[in-house]
Amino acid sequence: MRRKIASIIALLLLIASLGACSPAKNNSADSGNSGKSSEKTKLTVWQLKPEIAETLPEVFEHYTEQNPNIEIVVDRPGGNDYDTTIKAQMASGVYPDLFMVNSYSIMESFAKGGNAAAITDKAFTSNFMDEFLPSISYNNEIYGVPCEVDGVGIIYNREIFKKAGIKTIPKTIDEMEKVCEKLKAINVTPFSVGLKDSWTMNHTFSLVQGEMMDAHTFTEKMNKGEESFYNKELGNAFDFIDLLADNCNAKPSDSDYSNMCTLFAKGESAMMVCGMWGMTSVLMIDPDIDIGVFAVPVSSNSEDAQLCIDNSAVFCMPPQSTNQEETLKLMEWMSGEEFAKLYAEKCGIYMPTKDAALPQEGEGGWKDIKSYIDEGKITSLPFLYYPPGFDAGIALQSYFTGEYAQNQVRDSWDELWNSLIM
């Protein structure tokens, strides 16, 4: 018995000595099998654009391939009720790691509410185009990655302009009228208008306003009760609306955005007032159409013709994110050349970052936009700074059809704005 016990003890001592001599396990090396370190960090991204719902995850796949410890889940909560839904989610304590908003006023509300983190001190912010920093800043702090160069101007058919003998882009309201006369002489409707959708008129008014005055200053003064839509410079907006009404498709009140784009794409009109998203809509109908973009002529002074271009979307990180370090690394990547190239290729969006690639679809139009940026002939988009719910187009629908006079439109705008900021 003693011999048996002695043998067991000897065996145990041998096992113990072998264990002591073996190298220590490395937890990170073992992470592929078990333990907390084997788990991927999941980053949740909320984005609002239906047109990139499928392509944005494809862009992020390039990041996760380079960073296999990261998983990125892209969601579009609430669909068309995105803004309302994400506010409700955050109010209930549910936060993503990154979320998109599509206007300065909405971003500002998240910053004020403590749901967007300032990233001013991050080195990658130096790669943002200086022209678009105001669109992502509040109280001199930067609150996100700008992610869409957006312009609103006149989209035109280059071939029809050539056919009509129009050799130079109009820069004054008088020159614009002459262009319209030349187009009608070859039986082409100058403008297609989608009056049925109020937002098309909202954008039309906004871009004229942006060319005549500083959007930020106007918004600040309106919010303080120091400004009014009776500002005399806004008379130019009505001059241009009058020109549109005299040179557009029949029954514009029955025409919506889709119909506006269709008329243009089929060559029944030569121009339309729209943002760059309009180019995408047109190219889906006719991929071969030769599109150009120019600033709306708003006065007799050619220097007033500046293209309204701004950053219209921003990705913010809530300070409540539990993955801030990894989220900031992702934001840094999104600020660089690789993301901009992929974003342009897959999503058709021009990033407001330095040396960003231009989308191939509608490249001619994008080149026009870049030339305005390079020449410094740009101004902000006022509608991005309007209080949520403000739509200048509703009253303009009535003005366009002759139901409202100018003073009724201006009164309506003042009343609506004041009701929204109270």
Dump pLDDT digits (tens) for 335-344. Answer: 999 999 999 9
- At residue 160 the predicted structure's pLDDT band, cuts being 50, 70 and 90, is very high
Tens of pLDDT along 115-155? Answer: 999 999 999 999 999 989 989 999 999 999 999 998 889 99
SS3 labels along 149-174: EEEEEEEEEHHHHHHCCCCCCCCCHH
In this predicted structure, the answer to whether residue 7 has a pLDDT above a threshold of 50 is: no
DSSP states of 103-165: SHHHHHHHHHTT-S---TT-GGGGGB-GGGGGGGEETTEE-SEE--EEEEEEEEEHHHHHHTT
Written as six digits, the tokens of 32 are 């592929």
pLDDT (0 to 100) of residue 38: 60
Percent of the chain with pLDDT over 70: 91
CA distance 47 to 41: 19
Judge if 40-148+312-347 and 151-310+363-421 fold alike in CATH terms. Answer: yes
What is 151-310+363-421's CATH number?
Answer: 3.40.190.10
Q: Comparing C-alpha atoms, which of 321, 296, 279 is closest to residue 372?
A: 296
pLDDT (0 to 100) of residue 31: 31
Of 11-15, 41-45, 290-294, 414-418, the least confident: 11-15
Other CB atoms within 10 Å distance of the CB of residue 395: 24
- At residue 34 the predicted structure's pLDDT band, cuts being 50, 70 and 90, is very low
Angle (nearest 5°) at CA 365 between 362 and 369: 135
Q: What one-character DSSP code corresponds to residue 344?
A: I
- At residue 279 the predicted structure's pLDDT band, cuts being 50, 70 and 90, is confident
Tens of pLDDT along 52-100? Answer: 999 999 999 999 999 999 999 999 998 888 999 999 999 999 999 999 9
For the CA atoms of 124, 125, 130, 133, the dihedral, rounded to the nearest 10 degrees, stands at 160
CATH 3.30.565.10 is held by the domain 40-148+312-347: no
CA distance 180 to 113: 48
Could you give the residue ranges of the DSSP H alpha helices within 343-380?
363-374
Give the mean pLDDT of 178-189.
Answer: 97
In this predicted structure, the answer to whether residue 2 has a pLDDT above a threshold of 60 is: no
Tens of pLDDT along 189-247? Answer: 999 999 999 999 999 999 899 898 888 889 999 999 999 999 988 888 899 999 999 99
Residue boundaries of the structural domains of the chain: 40-148+312-347, 151-310+363-421
